[in-house]
A and B are shown apart, each in its own frame.
Chain A
Amino acid sequence: MKAVKQKTETGKALRYLAPAMITIIIFTILPIAYTVWMAFTNKTLFIQSDQVEMVGFANFIEVIRGPFKEVFFPVFGWTIIFAIISTLGSFFVGLFAAMLLNNPNIKERGVYKAILIIPWALPVAVAILSWQGLLNGSYGAINNLLFNIGIISDPIPWLTDATWARIALCFVNIWLGFPYMMNICLGALAAIPETYYEAADVDGASALTKFVKITLPSIAQTAYPLIISSFAFNFNNFGSAYLITSGGPARPNTQYAGFTDILASVNYKLSTVNGKYNIAAAISILIFILLAFISYYQMKLSGQFEEVD
């Protein structure tokens, strides 16, 4: 009976799959294929279409060893640091908040949880744009607050100094990202059987031992794949990197990237401002390869491959 069914259902399945297949092919696969082709040509905004020709790996060589070396490697390094700090920062802050909230002796914890979840609910673009104003060096509310409670005496140049701008970006990204991790951790904490801790108490384990031997391993199982996918997301987190500082402050030795630009925002600038499609396409492919690598491990860890069968 199964075999008979299999034959008849292919046509039927096609009808249900067609809308998704058509949109994915036209709006995802074809643009990606075109981008791959562009990476091997001299295509820019300013070139006539009949002058476009294949240039082999010239664009990649230019990115890795040529004039764009000054852009690619520093930006690549910062992209990785930014993604790691944002991801781990969000996770540990979220875990810490979740553990505090998991205390049944705090009767009003529901109120705290409802408040702490709000940054997750805010529309990201509006929230990030607002941070741009809050962090303004001369008049922003953050400097005002720090000044009024006596932490600083001179305003901090949040958005105009390279180091402060980077710190600000990571802070904002963690501010936006920790509620999601907190929510995940709350679910994972609730799933740990109370008996584990009771048994540990009987054995006289310390709070630290219980955390390292019971809490962390139990949560890791849930959180590991999420941390990796969150890393992949932050690696490409155009919004946080671009909407606060526009990539600035500018680097002295190149016009194509500022100190807080990540690869995704460099790509955006190369395409929309400079019209250098070929270089942008080459960088895209390098990002593709890296993301594929990360995602492969993520899927292996979360067992999504087995599910395909």
Chain B
Amino acid sequence: MLTIIKQRKLWAMCMLGVFLSLSMMLPLMSAVALAQEAQPQAVAAVEKGKDVYYKTEGPVSGVGWTEMTEQNYPSYNLPFPLSENRVIIWVLAQQHLYFGSFVLAVPIFCMVIELVGLLTRDKAMAKKYDHLAYTFVKISLTAYSVTAILGALLLFGFLTFYPAFFTYIAGLFRPVMHIYALLFLAESGTLYIYYYGWDKMNHGLLKWIHATMGVLLNVFGTVLMMLANSWAAFMMSPAGVDEKGRFLGNMWHLIHTALWNPINVHRIIGNMVFGGGVVGAYAAYKFLSAKTDEDRAYYDWMGYISMFLAVGSLIPLPFAGYWLMREVYGYRQQMGITLMGGLLAWLFIIQAVLIGALFFATDYYLFAGMDRMKGAERYAKSIKYVLFLTAAAFLVWLTPHTLIITPQELKAMGGQQHPVVGNFGVMSAKNGAVNTMLMTTIIAFIIYQRANKQITVKWAAWGNAAIVAMFTVALVNNWWLAIYGYYIPANVRVGLSVPQVVSTLTCLFVGCGINIAMMRGAKDMGPVLWGKISSRSQYALFVLAVSFTWLMGLMGYIRSSVRLFWHVMEIGRDNSPWAFTHTIGFAANVMTFNVVVFWTLTLFVFWLGEIGAKVAKTAHAPVHQPAIAGGSK
């Protein structure tokens, strides 16, 4: 037996060694590829070009952008909207991104939950966490295949609908695409071993190796996503090429464009929010269809963890978005104005409504979740104040700067901007509003944390006073900075957002930190009755998931359409017959169509998982043997 265990350990170590070597080799291979790319093609008479972004000189090492004609956009002459190739590509790209972000986010949760399970001393809880991580990866497995299929469809879409454009991009990013394919292979292999090896690698060292494979899986997935991001970022803010779009031999410049890192950070966090939302919806679906109390309790708990992960990631997301916008303004001020003050500004109002819905759904779910706890009634009276603040901030948050109005209304109002409400349409007010909503959500979470606890620490009076005073002063400070922004020059005003963010983060970390410290030795007023929650609360999880899906489609459209009539900003012009920006109504309809298609496919994935579980149950069901009379059991 001991020999078998030793052999297994040896094999596990070998496997880990292979995977680590593979992961080490990838950067090495990319370095070799990049070095080869960097070498000038010809020794004599090398033409030099100037990088459009980095302003460095380099040898012209590739073919530049060729001006396109309508013939470069082969079309099937289908009826509108399919007559526009971009609509087909839009749907395919969006579906691929939805599933891609889901399968990238879920392994992050699996890794964290599995690690929590490994570090938890309570064996029952450790097993529960481990099972939860397994459930998460099980859901993502079918979604992984769907992602790959959609990726292939998208690739065929590019090849058939935008052949000239794709030839140009593929020519530039050739080595990156090779590495991408290798990473995809490595990720697939790791995922399958991670999933199918779950039971076999469940003890001792093997379990730690399994957890390490979870880390590797995330490393592969994240690098994969970052490479794909470099293509989208290049289209928005090209670098590494001259003004004719010719490659200048530095692959790093091509990848590391002005918007690459802000997009990377925003997408990683956004994926986590989205992934948490989808898994939360799965838990809600399972909760509502559960037949036993045990199942209801498990899926209620799973829904709570998913919501916690999604909302935990949602809190830093606006800051990452703010950074991205700041970099967009830094790269081309006109792009920023098109986004937030011009053509696409109304889409940000839709975004505001959806974000408001997210905060309301989160607060509602947390407060509904207090039903499971004895003692929560002590905090019931404070809920209305939290909701009032959230609602007030939400109203400011969604107020547009200018209104779509009739000439009569315009005359009566004395301009397009309302004399009072119009003041809420500017960034100062928006920053104040979103930070208020974030703070109220943190308050809701702190209330939830202590709902069934009787605090016993000696310094309880100091702790409570510190928390209440901190939120009071932080809120007032946030509003003060919002109002102060109206009285200072624009360049100073932009900087006020940083102390506002720091105020919110103080509330998050210090507030939750003090609260957790106060929980030490606290008396339970009763256990958390998992499963004893209203069905209504589960619909809040659906609202969260669908709002995330909508938001992702909306913001993706905004980011992509800001290029207006450019394929590659200021280098490659879009000369297709449909090189104009869609109306807001049409864009919103396509986004909604994408949301419906995604959720239909996702329900299909959930249903497949259900069938798989039933088959597994039937296969493992005990065979009833006829009992021998008088025999032992």
Q: Do A and B form a real pair?
A: no
**A: which residues have CB within 8 A of B?**
none
